[in-house]
Structure 1
Amino acid sequence: MDDLAGVRRARRHGPAPSRLRWPRHKSLLAATTAVVLLLTACSTRDDRERTLAGHAPDEVTITWWTGQSADAEQLAEQLAAEYQRLHPHVTIKTSAGASTTDDLLTKLSAGFTSDTYPDISYAYGSWAGELAASGRTQDLTDFVGDPAFGWHQMPFAARMTATVDGRVIGVPALVDNLALIHNKQLFDAAGVAYPTNDWSWDDFRQAARRLTDPGRGVYGTTYSVSGSEDTTWHLWPLLWQRGGRILDGKRPAFDSDAGVAALETLRAMAVDDRSMYLDQTDEKYGPLFNNGRIAMMMSGPWAMLELKQARLNYGVTMLPGFHGDHQTVSGPDLWVLFDHDDGARARAARDFVGWLTSRQIDAKWNLRLGNLPLRSSANSTPEFAAYIREYPGGQAFFDNLANAKQARPTIAGYAELSRHVGDAVAMVLQGAATPKEALHEAARRSVGALEDS
């Protein structure tokens, strides 16, 4: 089996640092005859009508910025070539678009000025508001509204992220969520029962306290205090579970009683119990977990390849809940489609993205790269069965998509809000401020950026 380990997928959403997005180790490039027939039938309505009328479809060239590093980019080029074989009138110019995924937004902004932007680009979900405000995106509302597309097979949070002011500007490219991963060996050594899907945050705190062993350098759990989006987005499930909101319109709402109580839950573990390893960099807690120094971490499916490589005996459950609410947060990324005032290009871009995100081809892309499938219907495919065998936590992460019931704001001011909330959380967990004063100050600092969004 080929090894694509090392494919880079930057950690998402504005100010957040890099994260590795790992691929799988199976080759899924050969299409069966049935799949080819199905995909051939997915050509655009205009193309079919022109063909029936005796006219060949117009030759068209589109540009696809994949946002991927070398090995994943190679896979993208193979899929583009497969599509072109099925649609010989379409030429797809494929490239990463920028040296890193993080640089794509700058490259897109420059392209809007110089009229060199692509037809399709990978984008972090947090960029959706800014890209929509450019006036260059296609309106895909009717496209995804066609029952044949299967829009509602994609997770709610991903669909909401792709929708700005009621207008769909992209199609989900990647879906994930935060769940609770635990090291079974450390639980067994401490005589603590494994987490369950019924755990409360009190259960989580109690277990973390029992699992912490300062003499051995073992912590019950961990949290990022870098002040990045990695710090911020881990707070949102606790806020939502208590009935809180991030925004009220364009006004900060995270400094409510629900937000203060959510942050107090984390503060008590970090400051009072000292059961929480505080990572200043975002980069240390994963390796420490894999090395048996941390018993539990809130993380996502991207962690599973390293867990496999570490030969760790681990389990995955939903996040702890409050009064039975186990909401999580999802970080969907998008394929955003852009308008060039050329109907043929726009149709070709839509048709290609519809093909790429179909259940059959998504198995060759996201499952091939070790990501969760985009569609709920994928759980019946042989590729998903193989994914679950390779990554035992995959089923739990897939099921946990149902707990991603809210989406983070996509307005441009969210990036600044995230920085202020991240700084507030970091101060509180390090004992430098109370949850109430820190969140109020973060809200005050966020007002201007949100009003300008």
Structure 2
Amino acid sequence: MVAGIAGLTLLLGACGGGAKADSGKDAAEGYDPAAKVTITWWTGQPSEQEKVAEDLAAEYMKAHPNVTIKTSSGAATTDDLLTKLSAGFTGDSYPDISYAYGSWAGELATSGKTQDLAKYVADASFGWEEIPAAARATATYEGKVIGVPALVDNLALIYNKKIFDDAKVAYPTDQWSWDDFRSAAKKLTDPAQNLYGTAYSVSGGEDTTWHLWPMLWQRGGKILDGNKPAFNSDAGVASLELLRAMAVDDKSMYLDQTDEQYAKLFNDGRIGMMLSGPWALLEIKEANLDYGVADLPGYNGDHQTVSGPDLWVLFNHSDANRAGASRDFVKWLTSKDVDPKWNLAVGNLPLRASEQGTPEYADYIKQYPGGQKFFDNLKNAKQARPTVAGYEEMSRNVGDAVSKVLQGAAKPKEALDEAAKKSAGAVG
């Protein structure tokens, strides 16, 4: 997902080393809600979503005339934000609030620059428990809460009904096993028409890695055992072997050297099934496809999925009013009344279950019929990717291993053992 992972890890670690020791004092202690204050918000969004964010900031400022919110995307792309933040830590030019991928949480938590919101979100008025557990876990590092989930999502099975109909194959169900998935992919594949049953990213980034995690969990495996890599267990090897068989033996899997091509091919009617999330529904809608969504295939009836919650991370500038204002704004932004104006407006799932009764949710389901299925699938997101320093480096090692195996350049056990060995000193 982000280039130069090892370098970024070292840079963030160096920033953490130079940070002030935690005095135990709350960053917002002494906050005066009436004080005139300016805070910066890096939204990490492209232009269309950035406009929605700016409108929401304006709405908040109208109700709180003493607060000025300087809003910008923060970087050229969301992927660039981690680099920009690490540079900002060094030059003391980081924002009060920034969007961050959940996989960055461990790195940011160890920077020494984040607020601890644990007591703040524990107040009943925040409604912390209304946010899915996997998202809350992602925002938490060693008992400290470094931010608030910005969105929730998950992986499910999206399928093209026409391709299934043409091949006379029954549609996927929520009860499908991975063997069912493999069998259908073989039947849907037609080399003469350049048609594949399914697809997988072999870019080596997080998109490659996190598709393996649900299969690992379903078989009872772990990503880490304490701080020790454990993904190279029998459960991990068996999961990767199934993917290898589909890619190498069956040749029913399109191997995408990027993270983007397979979705385009799905929308062009060249791929029958893809394991993806609610973010894919916007382009599917534009392609006018007749599609369906089912739970991920399972193992022994376990259909766990993985959630990729992203965060609004709040940073400490040793200014109680900036800390307090940024908290109040994010609490407002993620509330059940305002979140529909953000997440549902830009095609994401609602952050809170209480939003299901809103007009915005009804409109969302009308526009994206698969959205309800993804929302219901949140119940299958029972575990979270570990919020640890070094996750990004470990993810890259696992992604490289998966990529090699799916392209026939390595065997599952050897590749995962090597990834575990490389990652042993990274996570902690």
Q: Normalized against structure 2, the TM-score is what?
A: 0.91
Residue matched to 2:361: 384
2:275 partner SS: strand
Contact residue 136 and residue 149 of structure 2 kept, 8 A: yes
Contact residue 264 and residue 435 of structure 1 kept, 8 A: yes
Asked if residue 338 in structure 1 is aligned to residue 294 in structure 2, the reply is no
Residue matched to 1:162: 139
2:329 partner SS: helix
User: What residue identity is the alignment partner of 2:185?
Assistant: A
C-alpha distance in 2, partners of 1:14/1:351?
Answer: 34
1:140 equivalent among 103, 117, 123: 117
Asked if residue 443 in structure 1 is aligned to residue 420 in structure 2, the reply is yes
C-alpha distance in 2, partners of 1:432/1:116?
Answer: 44
Moved over 4 A (4+): 11-15, 44-47
C-alpha distance in 1, partners of 2:172/2:322?
Answer: 51
- CA shift, 1:353, in A, is 0.2
Contact residue 289 and residue 295 of structure 1 kept, 8 A: yes
Structure 1's 182 and 13: CA in aligned 2 closer, same or farther, altered over 3 A? Answer: farther
User: What residue identity is the alignment partner of 1:292?
Assistant: G
User: What residue identity is the alignment partner of 2:127?
Assistant: G
Structure 1's 417 and 88: CA in aligned 2 closer, same or farther, altered over 3 A? Answer: same
- CA shift, 1:241, in A, is 0.3
C-alpha distance in 1, partners of 2:247/2:76?
Answer: 37
Contact residue 212 and residue 275 of structure 1 kept, 8 A: yes
Residue matched to 2:166: 189
Asked if residue 74 in structure 1 is aligned to residue 51 in structure 2, the reply is yes
Question: Per-residue CA shift, 1:247-276, capped at 9, x if unaligned?
Answer: 111111000000011111111111221111
Residue matched to 1:365: 342
User: What residue identity is the alignment partner of 1:238?
Assistant: M
User: What residue identity is the alignment partner of 1:351?
Assistant: D
1:226 equivalent among 196, 203, 227: 203
Contact residue 2 and residue 80 of structure 2 kept, 8 A: no
Residue matched to 1:217: 194
Higher mean displacement: 330-339 or 107-116? 107-116
Residue matched to 1:272: 249
Contact residue 13 and residue 126 of structure 1 kept, 8 A: no
1:197 partner SS: coil
Structure 1's 171 and 122: CA in aligned 2 closer, same or farther, altered over 3 A? Answer: same
Q: How does 1:85-124 map to 2 (within 5 A)?
A: 85-124=62-101
Residue matched to 1:310: 287
Question: Per-residue CA shift, 1:145-201, capped at 9, x if unaligned?
Answer: 111111111111111110001110100011111100001001111111100101111
2:86 partner SS: helix
Higher mean displacement: 135-144 or 110-119? 110-119
Q: How does 1:321-336 map to 2 (within 5 A)?
A: 321-336=298-313
- CA shift, 1:369, in A, is 0.7
- CA shift, 1:14, in A, is 8.8
C-alpha distance in 1, partners of 2:309/2:286?
Answer: 25
Asked if residue 348 in structure 1 is aligned to residue 294 in structure 2, the reply is no
Asked if residue 431 in structure 1 is aligned to residue 408 in structure 2, the reply is yes
2:249 partner SS: helix
Gapped regions of structure 2 (runs ≥ 5)? 6-27
Contact residue 14 and residue 126 of structure 1 kept, 8 A: no
Q: How does 1:377-416 map to 2 (within 5 A)?
A: 377-416=354-393
1:107 partner SS: helix
Residue matched to 1:23: none
- CA shift, 1:68, in A, is 1.5
Structure 1's 247 and 13: CA in aligned 2 closer, same or farther, altered over 3 A? Answer: farther
C-alpha distance in 2, partners of 1:391/1:88?
Answer: 37
C-alpha distance in 2, partners of 1:70/1:289?
Answer: 25
1:326 partner SS: coil
Residue matched to 2:17: none
2:148 partner SS: strand
C-alpha distance in 2, partners of 1:377/1:82?
Answer: 22
C-alpha distance in 2, partners of 1:159/1:427?
Answer: 33
C-alpha distance in 1, partners of 2:3/2:97?
Answer: 18
Percent of aligned pairs sharing the same letter: 71
- CA shift, 1:111, in A, is 2.0
Higher mean displacement: 315-324 or 264-273? 264-273
- CA shift, 1:441, in A, is 1.1
Q: Normalized against structure 1, the TM-score is what?
A: 0.86
Residue matched to 1:417: 394
Residue matched to 1:21: none
Question: Per-residue CA shift, 1:34-90, capped at 9, x if unaligned?
Answer: xxxxxxxxxx9999xx8xxxxx82212211111122222222111111101111121
User: What residue identity is the alignment partner of 2:76?
Assistant: S
- CA shift, 1:13, in A, is 11
Gapped regions of structure 1 (runs ≥ 5)? 1-10, 16-43, 51-55
Aligned residue pairs, count = 406
Contact residue 45 and residue 78 of structure 2 kept, 8 A: yes
RMSD of aligned Cα (Å)? 1.9
1:449 partner SS: coil
- CA shift, 1:136, in A, is 1.5
2:36 equivalent among 40, 59, 62: 59
1:360 partner SS: coil
Contact residue 304 and residue 393 of structure 1 kept, 8 A: yes
C-alpha distance in 2, partners of 1:385/1:232?
Answer: 34
Contact residue 223 and residue 231 of structure 1 kept, 8 A: yes
1:298 partner SS: strand
C-alpha distance in 2, partners of 1:196/1:46?
Answer: 55
